[in-house]
Each structure stands twice: as structure tokens, then as C-alpha cells.
């Protein structure tokens, strides 16, 4: 079977590997890959700037797949079902896991980052990590994982109807975070440094507004105008840069909530006393939990949301090198990039 590997920064290999061994007695499922989304973390691994990655690495943790073989299980999963999965593997022993906070396991291994991922024609996973796609088309089902990241973040901040929410970063995670906040009844705004991304957002989504983050002064001017000088009830950082975290601190209202989703390597230097002065509530948000996946599968399956609008490009997986290279050079024009592993007519 074919698989994809990031051998080292900026080097993609489409290789031939052995078919995975399958042990149904251990609760494994043999899966045939259908669609995989190139996550920002995959792109960061490609660029050599991912905080958690090592090489060589098979990327991929956003996916839809078909069950090829499965043993007896308690989740009603059957051969032929189209599924997605929780790709965050936890140890089960650390203090976080003992308290049920498995999404922030101290030794978490996310597929495609700390362990090999799904970008291969066939692979195995534990049955207890899979979710029935409930009829969602495979292209949309591959978006549930990044959707769950943003959804988990806004849940952390207890976003509710009437809140003014600002999401800083209009990439896929930022847009799906905004959709999540809107799903909870919030008045949602998106900010980015790239006018093209904001135009994409305005064209494809019905948010309350956008803010061009072309300078600190202009950013603050727009925040004051939108919030009547009060600041936002909730701000969400979805980039992973010190400057965008600072934006979120600055734009938050007194007594506001700040959520950190973005991942980066750079250190932040700022006047931390503003946290005390504003009495800010700051939440880290890592990965997602099973309930997040289940809720979003139901929401998308009910037809309430058309998250497929974030997809801008689809490549055959054999053209993965082109997909990564194009995405690297055109992040302002490309939102969610999918790799297609299946025959389009069969799914």
C-alpha cells in the first residue's frame, strides 16, 4: 500500500509500505482511508516549526475512513461504515488522565504529530476511538476533528447567547471556532492580517463582522468601535503567535475570557499585570473530547451547518508533495486542503 511521509522539513515522500497487521481480538479496526485534511500542525511539521513533531513522520489526524474489517465491539460499528476518530492517544495513568482530562494527557500523542498518522491507504485503530459518521458525506466528516478543536475551546470559555466573541486568526481552526461560537448564540467577529482571508470569510460565512489586523492602532480602533469601548466578552487566539495572543489580551473586556488554542514556539513578553487589572479569565484549550465529536457529528448530520465551505482545495493523495508545497506558498488563498484517497464515485 502507499503512504505519505514527511522525511524532513520540506521533503514529502509517497512510498510503498507493507499492509498493516490486523488484530481484531485486541479491539482493532482495519480502515481504508477516504479523505484527509492537511492540518496547520501538518503544515508546521512540513515547515520544520511544529513544537511537538519529530521526523520521519506520517502526517494526518483529520480524516474519514471506511471500516474494512472489525471484530465484535460494543459501539455498534460494522464493516462498511464510514467513520472518523478521536486521534489523541492518552496514557491513562498521569494525573490528568486520572481526573478524566484525557485531552490534556501529560504524555499525549496525537496522530501525525508525536506518532504516525492516517495518511496511508490502510491503517488500524482501536475501535473505541471511532465515531460512526451517521451518513455525513466523507468530505465533511474529515472536518469534524478540526471543528472539535474550536468547539472545545469556546466551551472552555462558557460562550453563551449574547456574548460578543472575537476570534483572532481566520484559518480553518479560527473559522470553525467562530462557527462554534455562533452555534452557541454568540455575536462573532473574526480578525486576520490577510485581507484575502477576511474576504473569503465574508463571502462564505454569516458572521457579525471582520477586523483587519494590519496594525495595533487600527486593530484597537476597530475593537473600540464594535464594542462601544467595552472590549469583547470572549477572545480566542487561533494562530499561535505572541502578537495575536497580545491582541486577545488587549481586545478582551474587563472581566472577559481569553482562550488560547494556537500552538507556537515563540515566547511572549508583555505587561502581565493587565491580567490582574482586567481580572481576565484565561483558558488554555488542548485537543478535544469525545463528547465534542459526538455533538458536532449530530449538528452537522442534522443539516444545521455547512462546514464544507471551508474546503478550498482537494488533491489526489499521490500529489501530496504538490499539496503541501502549494499550501505552504499560498496560505492566504487556501483554507482547508483535503487529500483524496478514495474513488470519488464510490463515496
Q: DSSP for 137-156?
A: -HHHHTTHHHHHHHHHHHHH
| Locus of grid cell 505552504 | 328
What residues does each domain of the chain span? 2-132+307-340, 149-284
CB 278 within 8 A of CB 235: no
Mean pLDDT of all residues in 225-244? 97
* pLDDT tens column, 287-313: 999 999 999 999 999 987 889 999 999
Grid cell in block for residue 144: 469534524
Whose CA is closest to 179, among 156, 157, 208? 208
For 149-284, CATH gives 3.40.50.720
In CATH terms, 2-132+307-340 corresponds, of 3.40.50.2020, 3.90.180.10, 3.90.25.10, 3.60.21.10, to 3.90.180.10
Whose CA is closest to 201, among 309, 316, 83? 309
Mean pLDDT of all residues in 155-164? 97
**% pLDDT > 70, the chain:** 99
Q: Is the pLDDT of residue 172 over 70?
A: yes
| Residue ranges of E strands in 175-238 | 187-192, 209-212, 232-237
| pLDDT for the residue numbered 346 | 60
Distance CA 216, CA 224 (A): 12
Q: What's the pTM?
A: 0.94
From 145-154, 282-291, 325-334, the region with the lowest mean pLDDT? 325-334
Q: Is the pLDDT of residue 24 over 90?
A: no
Amino acid at each position: 500500500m502507499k503512504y505519505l511521509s514527511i522525511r524532513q522539513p520540506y521533503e514529502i515522500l509517497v512510498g510503498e509500505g507493507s499492509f498493516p497487521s490486523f488484530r481484531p481480538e485486541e479491539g482493532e479496526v482495519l480502515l481504508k482511508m477516504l479523505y484527509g485534511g492537511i492540518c496547520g500542525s501538518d503544515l508546521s511539521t512540513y515547515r520544520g516549526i511544529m513544537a511537538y513533531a519529530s521526523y520521519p513522520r506520517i502526517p494526518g489526524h483529520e480524516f474519514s475512513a471506511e471500516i474494512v474489517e472489525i471484530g465484535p465491539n460494543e459501539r455498534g460499528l460494522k464493516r462498511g461504515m464510514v467513520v472518523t476518530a478521536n486521534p489523541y492517544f492518552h496514557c491513562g495513568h498521569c494525573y490528568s488522565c486520572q481526573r478524566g482530562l484525557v485531552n490534556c494527557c501529560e504524555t499525549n500523542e496525537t496522530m501525525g504529530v508525536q506518532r504516525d498518522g492516517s495518511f496511508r491507504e490502510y491503517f488500524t485503530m482501536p475501535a473505541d476511538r471511532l465515531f460512526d459518521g451517521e451518513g455525513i458525506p466523507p468530505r465533511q466528516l474529515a472536518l469534524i476533528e478540526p471543528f472539535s478543536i474550536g468547539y472545545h475551546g469556546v466551551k472552555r470559555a462558557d460562550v453563551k447567547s449574547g456574548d460578543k466573541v472575537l476570534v483572532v486568526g481566520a484559518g480553518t481552526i479560527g473559522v470553525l471556532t467562530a462557527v462554534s461560537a455562533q452555534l452557541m448564540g454568540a455575536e462573532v467577529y473574526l480578525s486576520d492580517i490577510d485581507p484575502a482571508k477576511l474576504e473569503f470569510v465574508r463571502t462564505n460565512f454569516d458572521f457579525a463582522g471582520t477586523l483587519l489586523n494590519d496594525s495595533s492602532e487600527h486593530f484597537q480602533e476597530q475593537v473600540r468601535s464594535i464594542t462601544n469601548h467595552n472590549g469583547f466578552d470572549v477572545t480566542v487566539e487561533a494562530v499561535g503567535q505572541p502578537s495575536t495572543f497580545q491582541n486577545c489580551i488587549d481586545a478582551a473586556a474587563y472581566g472577559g475570557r481569553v482562550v488560547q488554542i494556537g500552538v507556537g514556539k515563540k515566547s511572549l513578553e508583555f505587561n502581565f499585570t493587565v491580567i490582574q487589572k482586567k481580572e481576565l479569565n484565561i483558558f488554555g484549550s488542548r485537543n478535544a473530547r469525545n463528547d465534542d465529536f459526538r455533538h458536532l457529528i449530530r449538528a452537522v448530520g442534522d443539516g444545521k451547518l455547512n462546514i464544507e465551505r471551508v474546503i478550498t482545495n482537494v488533491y489526489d493523495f499521490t500529489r501530496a508533495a504538490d499539496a503541501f508545497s502549494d499550501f505552504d506558498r499560498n496560505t492566504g488563498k487556501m483554507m482547508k486542503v483535503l487529500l483524496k484517497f478514495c474513488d470519488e464515485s464510490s463515496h
